[in-house]
Amino acid sequence: MGTLGLGHYLLLSAVLFGIGVIGVLVRRNVIMVLMCLELIFNAANINLVAVARFRPDLAGQIFTIFTITVAAAEAAIGLGLVIAMFRNAQTVNVDDVHLLEG
């Protein structure tokens, strides 16, 4: 096992980030895409808090609070957009929204 270092947390955060990115790229449902974005936010938060623990500097934790604030705002706006999209296009699939396609 060994002692726990910063690298462990950074590696976990990288894996979580990768899962989030693959979700954003692969899923067709726009609600799912937003959820995977939240996963990516979480990976960034783990990085910030881990660096704040090991550096040590409290600013990382405060930045995390701001990140969570921005994530909440993003979720509210994104889900409002989803509702508007569903009302106008009657779908939540990202592939089916191609109004600008020639």
Partner 1 sequence: MESIAFYIIASIVIVSALLMVTSRQLVHSIVYMVVSFIGVGALFILLQAEFVAAVQILVYAGGIVVLFLFVVMLVNLNEVNEGEYLHRQWLPAGAMLLVLVAEIGYLLWGGAGALAVAPEQAETVLRAVEQGNTETIGMSLYTDFLLPFEIASMLLLVAMIGAIYLAQKRV
**Residue among 43, 6, 38 nearest 24 (CA):** 38
Please state the closest distance from residue 99 (CB atom) to partner 1, in A. Answer: 17
CA distance 25 to 54: 33
Give the contacts of 95 (CB within 8 A, at least 6 positions apart). Answer: 28
Residues 25-84 that bind partner 1 (CB under 8 A): 25-29, 31-32, 34-36, 38-39, 42, 45-46, 49-50, 52-59, 61-62, 64-66, 68-77, 79-84
Q: Does 98 bind partner 1 (CB under 8 A)?
A: no
Q: Does 8 bind partner 1 (CB under 8 A)?
A: yes
**Residue among 94, 60, 98 nearest 78 (CA):** 94
Please state the closest distance from residue 12 (CB atom) to partner 1, in A. Answer: 5
For residue 49 the two structure tokens come to 């808090």
Q: Does 22 bind partner 1 (CB under 8 A)?
A: yes
